[in-house]
Amino acid sequence: MEKRIEIVILGSGTAGTILANRLAKKLDLDKHNITVIDKHSNHYYQPGLLFIPFGIYDEGHVVKERTDFLPKRVEYIQSEIDRIDLNNQLVYLVEEGEIPYDHLIIASGTDIAPEEIEGMKSDLWHRDIFDFYTLEGAVALAKRLQDWEGGKMVVHLSELPIKCPVAPIEFALLVDSWLREHGIRESTDLTYVTPLDSVFTKPSVSEVLGDMFSMRDIKIATEFSISEVDVTKHLIRSWDEQEVPFDLLITTPPNMGASYIERSGIGDDLNHVFVDKHTLQSEISPNIWVIGDAGNFPTSKAGSVVHFQVEILEENLLQVLRGESPTHMYDGRANCFIESGNGKAIMIDFDYENDPKVGSFPLPVIGPLSQLKETRLNHWSKLMFKWIYWHLLLTGKDIPIPKNKSNRQIKHQ
């Protein structure tokens, strides 16, 4: 009997789940075996965590069982991964066992690492210091906001890269709107602290957001590279001795990739895997592929990036399985909605070479969405995306938005 080709996917978040569904439809599963490995049992709709502190969503909106979205004929192993053995093409599990692979897809994402900052994960963690990138943090913050009567509120970004890089900005704008609705904005000193020299990495977006922050009296502390949280004095301190006091700190800690990446020796200092930014093949081995937040791609770590990368990886892997060279290239496309409060949002679309511009999306002129402009339709589109995510995107269905901004296949030169 002919040996089946072993395709192993590490991670069953957005990227791993979509790929498992798409590959299960495209491959002959009598000749190919697809195995998905993940240590978690729950699947989180991560964009929804932003809305939990404001009572817009609750846990039921953002958490479901991972296995509910994986194909029946795909093997799912719930286990923590110890390391990847490149020489023998094996994945070693923490609780014993080894999984062989012919092709390995790393889709393990990235997570917050508050322990990387001195004093951040102290006795004040989830008391006066909160994240909203985890369900636990978002739920705890929702409770803390209900008791807020005023004082120094600081929204803080530790460093880049992070998943969903606009989320801290969104939180600052949403909490400003929330404070005004509850009549406690005037009693709140709201400051946004960032290591960047402006609000965002893209100048066109930073200009628009900077104007919004100014109009809403949100103070901005730029070029603040955090060294520690001084728990005793209730302040954050930078390496050059700047200090920002807080009564309530909403922080985005450093993000780190999976620890097994470090143990396997295949990533950078943040445990993000070295990868060809166009083909999505790792720089370590041509039969190891990387997608989404797990890779050191020079683009945003965002769900839309995964959506656009999935088709590229799928097409390239199918070519390789046919004995061909991969020809499909990812151009760095990413887009996202930036919640701006008051029932409005901004939409941006960009890639490796092109910054966001004023215009319409997804179709020129007729849109119907507006780029770099606050609209209610953008806001409702972000809310509607939750249904699209659970019912279409995760299950691997085609969504008619070109994977590259140029709407064409990019070939090797």
**What domains lie within the chain, and their CATH numbers?**
5-109+258-332 (3.50.50.60), 113-254 (3.50.50.60)
Task: Determine contact, residues 32/5, Cβ cutoff 8 Å.
Answer: yes
Q: Rounded to an integer, what is the distance from CA 51 to the centroid of its chain?
A: 15
* Per-residue pLDDT at 1 exceeds 70: no
- CA–CA dist 348, 338 (Å, integer): 8
Per residue in 332-377, pLDDT (tens digit) is 999 999 999 999 999 999 999 999 999 999 887 777 999 999 999 9
For residue 234, what pLDDT band results from cuts at 50, 70 and 90? Answer: very high
Arithmetic mean of pLDDT over the chain: 94
Per residue in 161-185, pLDDT (tens digit) is 999 999 999 999 999 999 999 999 9
Per residue in 31-76, pLDDT (tens digit) is 999 999 999 999 999 999 999 999 999 999 999 999 999 999 999 9
Mean pLDDT on 209-229: 97
Q: Determine the pLDDT at residue 401.
A: 77
For residue 3, what pLDDT band results from cuts at 50, 70 and 90? Answer: confident
- CA–CA dist 21, 251 (Å, integer): 35
Q: Of 141, 86, 137, nearest to 112 (Cα)? A: 137
Q: Determine the pLDDT at residue 412.
A: 43
Q: Determine the pLDDT at residue 409.
A: 46
Of residues 96 and 294, more confidence is placed in 294
